[in-house]
Structure 1
């Protein structure tokens, strides 16, 4: 598996672009730059989250405040093009395949989470309790919020963090760092436990390998968006501990260790199984 991941990295135009005209700097300066951008992002993120929170429906303010991630691509774009002096392509924004790569990602993300629900239903860990048509009004705004949030997270973690460290280090260290950074914001979420920590870390690796294999950020953004949207809006589970409006009403009926409990199915062993299968498929599925 490691050999194939390295093969994807060695043949990635994104990573080739990232290593053009790389300035050699000390590890202290490298980490300092990383922390500085992280703090700047936090400031802008908090400001925009507060703006979205003010104008959100009172009962859904926490969820809609995720729209604050709209600040991320603008901050990253400025830093990449003006400070680092590298191309937008070097963080995965390939041209000509944005629509179909994003669509492919949406399908992959939906199928991944639907597989979790299907297995959970077969094992008696989830039950279907009906539907709520009043939530139809939320479908488009919620999808837009998830697009903003997931694109923001992917641009920062897979797009910038991974390519930033790859400029001077191995692809495996870069994947490790980006998956840890992806995990950290989830640690304060409701219901976080060891299984959810492991699952989020592994799915970070899945998205990273997807980024390398398909050589673009679009497919990761699509898969991440569909995963969250399916989990919350379609099937009615909490998304990393955050409740959302929902069309279908599904509930947990078994053990939290297996079905995920209040954090959502991505905190259960069923999700662990599906995520590992997804990683194997992303690595070994025939290219054509």
Structure 2
């Protein structure tokens, strides 16, 4: 057996494809270190990761870009919008609980810090940054990686469906540890972000599209840090509409890391996961929860 090349599929094996994708992504975004404007850098990272994915999917995976969850169909944009709405509601629930229990105080509004024009531009660039982060992190940790790892794990008695869940667990752990170096991170925050990685992967597995995952990821971060002024993965939301100060128990609020390190963050994720499952069940004509066909079949059948 050739450990590098799959003769029956006429393409390199999954591990090689993933390595090439990651190396190419790094090479394409390396020049960004010279960019000093944060939101511009985020947009360029998204572009670099997309170009890397496009080239590797076409050249090495030998399939369409839609195979990793990206397309421009009407349903894609509907699911993106649904993801944005679901995450907005989840963050509103979290904020309402904290405010209702007097676990946070509204200390002011964003435009009071620097004037409406300066704040407006700052808030807009924060919006673009969070949108970019949601896109490229989902492309890296879910879209390309889950699809190819699932194919790589489909060996001997491991079915494509089982391999897909193994890939989700693997990438979710990586996602959690990728945030372990953030300010105020802890073992609890890392564990919770691993759970978030799992939550974000579920709509991809159930629909075959990355739309809802991107929408949820973007909206979760943007609403948390850009509207309600809560810390996002340890980073302060100084450009938010509401300026807030948390005083509640860290066990619930997550303290300086933000809700993602507290029980309220888990509550928000459970709400989102419930909405995802209800949507997927309603869309399936059989009324069952099933993986998308692209995760139930092997490469040959997917590419036919």
TM-score, scaled relative to structure 2: 0.76
For the 8 Å contact 1:80–1:87, the answer to whether it is kept is yes
CA contact (8 A) 1:68 1:149 kept: no
CA RMSD of aligned residues (A): 2.3
User: In structure 1, which of residues 246, 250, 271 is the aligned counterpart of residue 265 of structure 2?
Assistant: 271
Deviates more, 1:104-113 or 1:278-287: 278-287
Aligned-residue offset at 1:102: 1.6
Change (3 A) 1:248 1:22: farther
Aligned to 2:50: 73
Residues 123 and 39 of structure 1, relative CA distance in 2, 3 Å threshold? farther
CA distance in 2, matches of 1:111, 1:260: 19
C-alpha contact 2:20 2:56 (8 A) present in aligned 1: no
Verify the 8 A CA contact 1:158 1:208 in the aligned structure 2: yes
- How much has 1:23 moved relative to structure 2? 5.7
The match for 1:257 is 251
- 1:41-71 CA-partner distances (Å, limit 9, x unpaired): 23433432x244x2x2xxxx5x764344222
Q: Pick the aligned partner of 2:63 from 70, 86, 90.
A: 86
Report the CA distance shift for 1:185/1:41 in structure 2 as closer, same or farther (over 3 A). Answer: farther
Out of 126, 135, 142, the residue aligned to residue 142 of structure 1 is 126
Secondary structure of the corresponding residue to residue 160 of structure 1: helix
Deviation at 1:140, TM superposition (A): 2.2
Q: Tell me by how many angstroms 1:160 deviates.
A: 0.5
2:176 corresponds in structure 1 to 183
Contact 1:126–1:259 (8 Å) recurs in 2: no
Say if 1:136 and 1:247, in contact at 8 Å, map to a contact too: no
- Aligned partners of 2:180 and 2:212: how far apart in 1? 25
Partner Cα distance (1:45, 1:270) in 2: 35
Kindly provide the CA deviation profile for residues 62-105 of structure 1, in whole angstroms up to 9, marking residues without a partner as x. Answer: x7643442221111111111122111110012433232222111
Runs of 5+ in structure 1 lacking a partner? Answer: 1-20
Using CA pairs below 8 Å that are at least 6 residues apart, which structure has the higher relative contact order?
1
Q: How does 1:38-187 map to 2 (within 5 A)?
A: 38-48=22-32, 50-52=33-35, 54=36, 56=37, 61=38, 65-70=41-46, 71-94=48-71, 95-133=73-111, 134=115, 135-168=119-152, 169=154, 170-187=163-180
Q: CA deviation at 1:209?
A: 0.8
> How far 1:163 moved relative to its partner?
0.5
1:227 to 220, 233, 248: 220
d(CA) in 1 for partners of 2:108, 2:229: 10
Structure 2 unaligned runs (5+)? Answer: 1-7, 155-162, 284-304
